[in-house]
Amino acid sequence: MTQHENHGDHHNHGSLKSYVIGFVLSIVLTIIPLVLVMNQMLDKTATVITIMVMAVLQFVIQLFFFMHVREGEKPRYNVQTLILGLVIVFTIIAGSIWIMTFNNLK
């Protein structure tokens, strides 16, 4: 028996409509910061914040439309695990930045 003979456990990985919506949203979330930077429409701080917000939104779009986080046997656990991982990463990064910024002990 070869690897390709067992096709009984195929999962539905999304429709063409879902992929097109995800693709269009990804393109829009890429173009917005590009236009803001190229035309210098906002000041530096607002531009950086906008780029970061668009990056986070794009990350969420990629996860839900292309990585199918909500699909599978237990999609709730996939999302909860992802959120826990993001909280841990955010805590480590924020703590590191906090220490580097306020470490003025001489």
Q: Average pLDDT of 20-34?
A: 94
Considering the domain architecture, whether residues 20 and 64 belong to the same structural domain is answered as: yes
Q: Are both 20 and 52 inside the same structural domain?
A: yes
Answer yes or no: are the C-beta atoms of 83 and 32 closer than 8 Å.
no
Q: Are residues 18 and 64 in the same domain?
A: yes
Asked if residue 103 has pLDDT above 60, the reply is yes
Band (10; pLDDT cuts 50, 70, 90): low
Predicted pLDDT at 30: 94
Number of domains observed in the structure of the chain: 2
- Reported as a pLDDT band with limits 50, 70 and 90, residue 82 is confident
DSSP 39: T
In this prediction, residue 12 carries a pLDDT of: 60
Residues 69 and 78 sit within 8 Å (Cβ to Cβ): yes
C-beta of residue 62 within 8 angstroms of C-beta of residue 73 = no
**Residue 4 domain flag:** no
- Which residues in 40-72 are b (16+ Cβ under 10 Å) and which e? eeeeeeeeeebeeebeeebeebebbbeebbeee
Structure-derived torsion over alpha carbons of residues 13, 30, 89, 77, reported in degrees to the nearest 10: -20
Report the pLDDT averaged over residues 7-23: 74
20 and 63 share a domain?
Answer: yes
Domain assignment of residue 85, given as a range: 71-106
Task: pLDDT band for 6, please (50, 70, 90 cuts).
Answer: very low
Does residue 1 sit within a domain? no
pLDDT of the residue at 35: 95
Which pLDDT band, with edges at 50, 70 and 90, does 34 fall under?
very high
Q: Mean pLDDT, the chain, as a whole number? A: 83
Identity at 54, one-letter amino acid code: M
Indicate the SS3 state at residue 22: helix
Query: For residues 47 and 32, is the Cβ–Cβ distance under 8 A?
Result: no
